[in-house]
Copies of this chain bind each other. A is one copy, B any other.
Amino acid sequence: MRRNERVSTAVIRRLPRYYRHLGELQHKGVVRISSSALGKDMGLTASQIRQDLSCFGEFGQQGYGYKVDVLREEIGEILGVSRGHTVVVLGAGNLGRALIENFKFANNGFQLLAAFDVNDSVGSRVAGVPVYHADQLEEFLQKNRVSVGLLTVPKSAAQTMAQRLVNAGVKGIWNFTNYELSLQDQDVVVESVHFSDSLLTLSYMISQTGEQEDTL
């Protein structure tokens, strides 16, 4: 597979959507899809789809469209789902537990190894995942290769815990704390989930709808 190193952030951000959508098509038993049909489902033009995917290689066949399973697998490869990534959860509160119990880590190529907390949950298991005391974090990270730390600790502990993860060699931090981390190690990638960005986008969209109503 040919890879273009200068792929734009916008394209990269769309790849997981392709992956997810192709998975749904596969689930529905769809074998082949044209770029226009795929585009229609995803709110993109056929030419945008072709352009996006051309960044990574030759996938489709003129007039035949894309083979759903092949394309999904290739995109999965690009996204790194078969690289054996591992993850630990820091903070086994409501959000941490919700993610441990419901989020399909394995479907996204991540093996969930353990959770860490400082309260009563230490020593228990959540959906089969052991909860250790945060004091044991470094020891655990030394014994286990951990790619990503999922951060759901309180905001006040976010920076400290993130730095401990980085010092112990994790490559990425999935940050749910709504705290803007500033880390020394430039090689560590931080991906923050900001619920408020999503709600404010919704707020904008319903406000626009309201305005249209007002002027009717």
Contacts and interface: CB of A to CB of B under 8 A. Distances in A.
Given A148-B206, A206-B147, A200 B79 contact: yes
A19 B206 contact: no
A201 interface: yes
A194 B16 contact: yes
Interface stretch (A65-73, A97-105, A117-125, A159-167): A97-105
B203 A108 contact: yes
Main secondary structure of the interface of A (DSSP, over half): helix
A81 interface: yes
Interface stretch (A7-15, A29-37, A45-53, A136-144): A7-15
Interface residues of A, number: 56
Interface of A: 10, 12-13, 15-17, 19-20, 24, 78-81, 83, 85, 93-95, 97-99, 101-105, 107-110, 147-148, 171-172, 174, 180, 187, 189, 191, 193-207, 209-210
